[in-house]
Amino acid sequence: MPRSAIRPSPVFLGLLALTAGAGFLTMVDNKTAARAGVFLLVLGGWAVSLCVHEFGHAVVAFRGGDWSVQHKGYLTLDPRRYTDPVLSLLLPILFLAIGGIPLPGGAVWINHGSLRSRAVESRVSLAGPLSNLAIGILLAVAVAVFGPSTTEIAFGGLTDHALWAGLSFLALLQLAAFVLNMLPVPGLDGWGAIEPYLSYEARAFGAKARQWAPLILFAVLIGVPGVSEVFWEVVIALYGAVGGDEIAAAVGQSLFFFWR
């Protein structure tokens, strides 16, 4: 694939700059600034990861035969190019801000008829959540290698290690997005990964259920007692397995939801 096909848009670069600036804000010796920095760091980082998630789908599709994604602007990491910027970026950020739910973003439209094989179709679906997994692991490892110890975070002031706490919470959210997206539910990437190998009847059902199945899933996660707890237990177990610091993530969550 020619390098010129991938050109990060000014919007994406602006999101990166916002996230980096928020990181510096967390290190200001002021509790209000530190809390605001964590809030912006997590929201900015989440917006960046949404762009990378959709870029993952697009770049694998491009390599697999669907060259239309380049003309649609999907390789620019510009959220305005997605099918619906509100559903793709604004709604997931809003859900995250009010409830901490890692709602999947909108979609990039892939011409599946141009893809070379069922295996390529499956890889296209997997590329998005795997990008969340990679970001989550990188952040968790960075905190483990360069950040303070669990003891320092646990016994320090709430904002003493705000940067590392914010990055830890962001890492946890990335892994939550990975687990959620890998569920074999129509409309999610886990279903897309297995759909090419399903029967015609199953694929027809998935096409009909794609619009409402994720909504039912989120309603179950929010409204059915015990389901959310099981989901987060799986996420936290994965987070610990990749070296994540649960205490740091909890501190980051507390700083992020500063109004609670």
Q: What is the mean pLDDT of the chain?
A: 89
State the pLDDT at residue 236: 96
Q: How far apart are CA 47 and CA 41, in angstroms?
A: 10
* Residue 3 scores a pLDDT above 60: no
* Residue 242 scores a pLDDT above 80: yes
Q: How far apart are CA 209 and CA 213, in angstroms?
A: 5
State the pLDDT at residue 105: 63
Q: What does DSSP assign to residue 78?
A: -
Q: How far apart are CA 93 and CA 76, in angstroms?
A: 20
- Exactly one of 54, 229, 233, 246 is catalytic; which is it? 54
Alpha helices in the chain (DSSP H): 10-25, 31-63, 68-71, 85, 91-99, 118-146, 150-155, 162-181, 189-194, 200-209, 213-223, 227-241, 246-256
Which range is least confidently modeled, 21-35, 89-103, 121-135, 140-154?
89-103
pLDDT per position as a tens digit, 147-156: 998 888 877 7
* Residue 216 scores a pLDDT above 60: yes
Total domain count, the chain:
1
State the pLDDT at residue 87: 61
Domain that holds residue 19: 3-256
State the pLDDT at residue 81: 84
Which has more pLDDT, 170 or 3? 170
pLDDT per position as a tens digit, 59-108: 999 999 999 999 999 999 988 887 666 666 666 777 777 666 776 666 78
pLDDT per position as a tens digit, 221-231: 888 889 989 99
Confirm whether 54 is a catalytic residue: yes
pTM above 0.85, yes or no: yes
